[in-house]
Structure 1
Amino acid sequence: MDGSGRARVAARRLTRRHRGRSRRALARGRGRRRGRIRDRDHPYVARARFGRPGRQPARGCQPACRIECDGGAGGTRFRDPRRRESHGVPLPTSPGAAASRGRDRRRGHRRRASRHHRVGAGPPVSRLARIARRASGVHLTPRAALVAALPAVVLVFLPGWWAYGATAVWFVLWLWLVSSDLGESVGEGDLHVTRTVPVKLSIGVGNPVKLHIVNHSSLTARIAGRETPPAGFAGERAISPFEIEPHGEAEIALEFTPPSRGAYSFGDVGIRTLGPFGVAGRRFDLPAAQEVRVYPDITAVTGYSLLARKGALHEIGIRAARFSGLGTEYESLRDYEPGDDYRDIDWKATARRGAPVVRRFEAERSQTVVLAIDAGRLMTPRVGPLTKLDRSVNAALLLAWLASQAGDNVGLLVFARDVEVFLPPRKGHKQFLRTLEALYAVEGRVEEPDYAAALRFLAMRVTKRSLVVLFTELVGTEPSRRLLGVLGGIAPRHLPLVVTQRNAEVERVATAVPDSESDAFRATVAQDLLHDKAAALRLLAAHGSLVLDVEPEALTVAAVNRYLEIKARGRL
């Protein structure tokens, strides 16, 4: 067989051997590599590659090894595939060589990926930065400084190199103590904290806050920390040192007093853990951020309800209503008490028992109570821990609850220059909850209240005779004159009750003995303010309005007592 015949036979064998493999896979080097023609112009080589001149090979029919022709009598011959050439890609000689080239290819890919990462994501974090980040969470106690300074007393008496040697030994010992404490201290990932707070916090009173800490490690957790309440909350923030056994848990009880109503946020809990020697530990924050809402004093409502069931309302200053209701339905009999009306004595029951007995009648129900709150500038001053507006809101909330419990219709009106909030009078517990949510959002405004517009708005929407409890403040003759003119218009239909708060500071200045000319002027101004307010209240009472002027701390109790008295006397 001549040279051309041998070339055609070799081409057929190579074609059958690699039939079914895609040209793309062979070109990428998967499987055995495609052979390359050394001399495309040679007729036998071209025919061996393409089968016939002028015809493209079928898909997947590519030779897998090199074919070359020496152009002489020897004809076509096959090259050794292990021979390397700069212009071709030889077949791998062994699995080891292929694996080596694969490793080189992967290393190059990793280098390129690292280069792309550096370009796209910025410079990598250095080892020094990582060490500094870890060291920022290390906490050294004052005991560590004391232990480190102890050799200074002895080293003064050691000569020369002995001092340096003792210092080095002590420093190594100190490092061992610190590293031992760090190794035995609990880390951030081993502790979990959960904060429990009331759904509705109450303003001006202590609210319980509990921290539940769980230790998931096999080490004893020696913990001290600090709570992060919202700004302005009064209470102890520090957490005293305590221990939690391995896989144990502990609960910490704290108490905070909010200064005002609104939405606030607790932060994360700061934790410091120590080792057994108390020299070093770790410092970190446990995520516990939480949103809370501060409402009017709800604890007064719950406390009143509890004391009412116990029959111990006198403990908070609530006087029993000793006036018989003017209703028509008989309720019960009770023993006579000083202050009872003689007309209510049941003489037949008194004769049978031998002691005075008084009849009690069921008070009228389904009456209407409207709580009107002035949110103007005179209600914004802070008296003690709370503003006058906050104290009025607390008293209004308790009155709303009492009226709801008594079966009365409760309405709400909040105003300044304009009417801010209005709830039509309704009865039931849902109305109390609406009142609570409305009082939560009440804010004081630095503007003069418009009594005429507010009470005219109320008179147009509430036609049934009602008890209008107006929480306001009277300073000077002009506001008193405006209020008197408005209340005189609604008095025939409604029963107004004007509730104001006394100013202890003004009373102190008015009654103090002046030491200088400026003190005398201040005392005169304070006396004029008190005189004008007293005259305005007397004038309101003379025109048919009920008046209540009390200390800010006693506002809630006094308002409740007056409401109970009005209900018992049947004034509505």
Structure 2
Amino acid sequence: MKLIKQLYINNLFFYSLIGVIVVFCLAFIFPALYNAAWYLLLVLLSFFALDFIILFSSKKGIEAHRITPEKLSNGDENSVVINVKNFYTFPVFAKVIDEIPFQFQVRNFEIKRKIKHNSIDDFQYFLRPTERGEYHFGNLNVYISSPLNLVAKRYTFDKDQTVPTYPSYIQLRKYDLIAFSNNLFQYGVKKIRRIGHTMEFEQIKEYVPGDDIRTLNWKATAKKNALMVNQFQDEKSQNIYMVIDKGRTMKMPFNGLSLLDYAINATLVLSNVILKKQDKAGMFSFSKKVENRVVAEKRTSQMQKILESLYNIKTDYFESDYSRLYVDIKKNINHRSLIILYTNFETLDGLHRQMPYLKGIAKNHLLVVVFFQNTELFQITHKKSETIQEIYDKVIAEKFIFEKKLIVNELKKYGIHSVLTQPENLTLDTINKYLEIKARGIL
């Protein structure tokens, strides 16, 4: 019974059998072909039996394993490797069918490869998850055929493997040393150094035109017989909180990922940059209530705390309660902090409803509102209009794009910083804004 479950007949056998049947049919017209038809059938069955014996005589003809990352990175290409060892004494043809998690909706996955005798081969493919959570792999099925290619034997490995999907830690590694790199333009990140009057002394350097003469160091000037100035760096240990709106407006999808997931990935990367800059990173999310709180600190375990909190954030499809956010910040954040709010305003009216609470937060803290451009609207505006309906759609799209710019101006009027960005540029733009604020020393 077990052999029957493992046995699969290849197409070549069926094609050959059809050919033999055709010869039998012709034998009714040409009797001389009758003996040839029986001879061909006998040869086909002999090769079938030989192929069956050489494949099934070995209990352990091959061995295969699925090698996955410990966790998948959400929104990124993740490599999965299938390692196949051939213990047969002849080359085999392998067809690998991996039962990929249902979230990917891949229904025609297969990899075909020829593997030499007594050798090892790797099959690699990539998966791009768009949701956080657990991904369950099914069976790893490997169908092996001999050079005769009449029958195949199925091997099954790695049943029911589960891999969690976390916020994009691949981006985290990419920008790991971004706060200290001297070649940031390849990433699109601005490196801004401020020569200021903070208490964080960095070095004494020779005066160049443009330096503040108030920072002249007269003792060093006398020793070097040249003008020397004190150089200061950004203040450290400032509180930075990232606040993620998980209401229904953040469920809008772009390139397979929701705005919420873009915000989560950006929060993870920015938290790492903040800690590298010796500031305190914290975060929380809100909708009907405030959750997933991580108090701003700069301990070695802070990134792990933030990662675990981000992993569990899910939208609740409610309209976000900004009054509750305002009360929570006023109650729990006592020191002046930089608050980066990831949210989305589509209309000016939507902003006006929440403006009293945003102004209340900005009164005691430095508030940066991060919201998103609708990239699909840009596609409509750049498309040539040929019908009345297309002209109407283009005008409406331009109206919504212009309204986003009005939102930026409205926030600026009340001293609230803003970042209007496309979802794919969110991480870079928020890092740039943080570095700009640090450089200007306005916190």
TM-score scaled by structure 2?
A: 0.87
Conserved 8 A contact 2:66-2:158: no
Match among 37, 42, 53 for residue 167 of structure 1: 37
Distance 2:125 2:149 in 1: 25
C-alpha distance 400-310 of structure 1, shift in aligned 2 (>3 A):
closer
Moved more, 495-504 or 484-493: 484-493
Conserved 8 A contact 1:410-1:425: yes
Distance 2:82 2:237 in 1: 45
Distance 1:139 1:366 in 2: 66
Unpaired runs of 5+ residues, structure 2, are none
Q: Alpha-carbon deviation of 1:469? A: 0.1
Task: Calculate percent identity across the aligned residue pairs.
Answer: 25
Q: Alpha-carbon deviation of 1:182? A: 1.8
Q: Which residue is 1:243 aligned to?
A: 115
The alignment status of 1:147 with 2:16, answered yes or no, reads yes
C-alpha distance 334-445 of structure 1, shift in aligned 2 (>3 A):
farther
Q: Alpha-carbon deviation of 1:462? A: 0.6
The alignment status of 1:343 with 2:212, answered yes or no, reads yes
**SS in structure 2 at match of 1:185:** helix
Conserved 8 A contact 2:238-2:280: yes
Conserved 8 A contact 2:93-2:112: no
Moved more, 466-475 or 207-216: 207-216
Q: Which residue is 1:502 aligned to?
A: 373
Q: Deviations over 1:288-313 (max 9, x none)?
A: 32111111110111111266676443
Matched letter for residue 263 of structure 1: E
C-alpha distance 503-327 of structure 1, shift in aligned 2 (>3 A):
same
Moved more, 160-169 or 551-560: 160-169
Conserved 8 A contact 2:86-2:115: no
- Equivalences for residues 367-382 of structure 1 within 5 A: 367-382=238-253
Q: Deviations over 1:540-564 (max 9, x none)?
A: 1111111110111111011111111
Conserved 8 A contact 1:380-1:445: no
The alignment status of 1:461 with 2:355, answered yes or no, reads no
Moved more, 204-213 or 310-319: 310-319
Match among 300, 303, 324 for residue 429 of structure 1: 300
Distance 2:206 2:101 in 1: 53
Match among 125, 132, 135 for residue 261 of structure 1: 132
Q: Alpha-carbon deviation of 1:538? A: 0.9
Distance 2:213 2:61 in 1: 72
Match among 67, 71, 78 for residue 207 of structure 1: 78
Q: Deviations over 1:156-197 (max 9, x none)?
A: 489644322211110111111122222222667543333222
**SS in structure 1 at match of 2:357:** helix
C-alpha distance 407-329 of structure 1, shift in aligned 2 (>3 A):
closer
Distance 1:395 1:557 in 2: 8
- Equivalences for residues 88-167 of structure 1 within 5 A: 130=1, 134-150=3-19, 156=26, 160-167=30-37
C-alpha distance 185-314 of structure 1, shift in aligned 2 (>3 A):
farther
Match among 159, 165, 170 for residue 299 of structure 1: 170
Distance 1:188 1:376 in 2: 56
**SS in structure 1 at match of 2:274:** helix
Conserved 8 A contact 1:148-1:171: yes
Q: Which residue is 1:275 aligned to?
A: 146
Distance 2:81 2:152 in 1: 25
Matched letter for residue 300 of structure 1: Q
Q: Alpha-carbon deviation of 1:332? A: 3.6
**SS in structure 1 at match of 2:176:** helix
Match among 36, 43, 47 for residue 177 of structure 1: 47
Conserved 8 A contact 1:344-1:359: no
C-alpha distance 503-284 of structure 1, shift in aligned 2 (>3 A):
same
Conserved 8 A contact 2:103-2:135: no
Matched letter for residue 166 of structure 1: A
Q: Which residue is 1:25 aligned to?
A: none
Q: Deviations over 1:319-345 (max 9, x none)?
A: 2113335423331478999xx964389
Matched letter for residue 40 of structure 2: W
Relative contact order higher in (CA < 8 Å, ≥ 6 apart): 2
Conserved 8 A contact 1:326-1:570: no
Q: Which residue is 2:193 aligned to?
A: 322
Conserved 8 A contact 2:27-2:34: no
Moved more, 524-533 or 415-424: 524-533
**SS in structure 2 at match of 1:488:** helix
**SS in structure 2 at match of 1:174:** helix
Distance 2:271 2:311 in 1: 14
Distance 1:389 1:526 in 2: 23
Distance 1:332 1:146 in 2: 82
Conserved 8 A contact 1:184-1:219: no
Q: Which residue is 1:66 aligned to?
A: none
The alignment status of 1:365 with 2:236, answered yes or no, reads yes
Distance 1:134 1:439 in 2: 48
**SS in structure 1 at match of 2:84:** strand
Conserved 8 A contact 2:13-2:151: yes
The alignment status of 1:412 with 2:283, answered yes or no, reads yes
Q: Deviations over 1:372-404 (max 9, x none)?
A: 011111110111121111111111111111112
Matched letter for residue 48 of structure 2: V
Distance 1:308 1:180 in 2: 66
Q: Alpha-carbon deviation of 1:145? A: 3.2
C-alpha distance 336-138 of structure 1, shift in aligned 2 (>3 A):
farther
Aligned length: 437
Q: Which residue is 2:96 aligned to?
A: 225
Matched letter for residue 33 of structure 2: A
Q: Which residue is 1:522 aligned to?
A: 393
Conserved 8 A contact 1:345-1:359: no
Conserved 8 A contact 1:412-1:424: yes
Q: Alpha-carbon deviation of 1:524? A: 4.0
**SS in structure 2 at match of 1:458:** helix
Q: Which residue is 2:270 aligned to?
A: 399
Distance 1:309 1:220 in 2: 52
C-alpha distance 165-570 of structure 1, shift in aligned 2 (>3 A):
same
Distance 1:426 1:190 in 2: 55
C-alpha distance 446-543 of structure 1, shift in aligned 2 (>3 A):
same
Distance 1:271 1:356 in 2: 75
Unpaired runs of 5+ residues, structure 1, are 1-129
Conserved 8 A contact 2:179-2:273: no
